[in-house]
Amino acid sequence: MSSLFTVGETMGLFGALAIGRIEHVASFGFGIGGAESNVAIGVTRLGGAATWLGRLGSDATGDMIARRLRAEGVHTMDIRDESFTGLMVKHRRTGETMQVDYHRAGSAGSRLTPADIPSDLAGASLLHLTGITPALSDSARAAVFHAAETARASGVAVSFDLNYRSKLWSRFDAAPVLRDLATRADVLFAGPDEAELIVGAAGTDLPAALAALGPVEVVVKDGARGCTALLDGVPAKLPALPVTVVDPVGAGDAFVAGYLAARLAGWAAPDRLRQAVAAGAFAVTVPGDCEGLPSTSELDDMSFVDVRR
C-alpha cells in the first residue's frame, strides 16, 4: 500500500476564541499544531495512509498529541523526551490579521536526531519534509537531511515544502539550507516569497526556476491567487476557489495533503492539483490548525467543485 512518512515537531496550540488584543481574550481553545502532522492527518482523512515521527515531552501535552494523532488514524512513532513539548499561541488582533507566537526553543521536538529516523521509513513510498524542522536545531537539521538521503537511497520519493518561518531563522541562514533540500526533492511546494528566497528575483517563471534545481513536480502556492505548477515538464495553473476565509492557518498544509493523497492514490497531475486547491479552500473556512482538514466525503459534498477523477 502506498503510504506517506513524515517527521517534525507537533506542538500544543492555544487558540484565542475571540478577536482583539490577547490580554482582552477571556478564553482559549487547546489543540495541536504542526505542519508535518497536519499533512499526515490530511492524508488519512482523504483515504491515504500516513506515519508521523517526532519527539514529544513526557507531559500532558505530549500525551494529548499522541492520542489525537492516533485517533486520526495516523501511525504515530512518538519518541518521549525529557524536555517539554513545544507550544504555540494564536490570536486575531483584528478580523483580518492572525498572529502566531512559538514557545519551542529547547523543546522535545527540537532534539530530534538522525538516529531517530528508521532505516526503512516505516515502509513508506513517499517521504514528506518541511523547511520548519531544519530551523529548530543542528540535530534536527541533520535528521531531516538524513531522512532525505535515506529515502533517495531506498528509491522513496521525497516531497518538500519550503515553509520558511522568519521567527525561527533569518533568510540569510535559511536560503542555502532550503535550496540544498530542494535539490533532493522529487515534489516541491513553495509560496512565491519562499521560491524567490532560493531561486532569485521576482518576475521569473518560478515553477521553472524551482524545477531547474531537480524536482520533477513543482507547485507554487499563492493563496487567494491560486497556484501555478510544472508537473513532469507540463505547466499548469488553477485559480483559488471562492470561499469565506475564517482562519488561513493550515491552508498550505491542507493543500499539500490534498495533492499528496491524490498522488499516493495514483491520480493524474490535473486531478492532484484540483484536490489540492479544494482541500486548501475547505480548510480556511474552519478555525484551527488541523481541524479544518477535509475528508473525501466533505470534498465530494462541496457544491462548487468536483475533485473526483
Q: Which of 161, 253, 300, 301 is catalytic?
A: 253
For cell 527540537, what's the residue?
A: 110
Closest CA to 232 of 213, 256, 215: 215
* Gap between the Cα atoms of 260 and 80, Å rounded: 28
C-alpha cell at 94: 483584528
Contact 246, 282 (CB under 8 A): no
The contacts of residue 56 (CB under 8 Å, 6+ apart) are 10, 62, 65, 66, 78, 79, 80, 81, 85, 108, 109
Active site residue 63: no
C-alpha cell at 250: 493550515
The contacts of residue 295 (CB under 8 Å, 6+ apart) are 45, 46
Residue type for position 18: A
CA of residue 224 relative to chain centroid, distance: 18
Cα separation values, 73 from 37, 67, 69, 175, 237, Å: 12, 10, 7, 35, 32
Residues forming the active site: 253
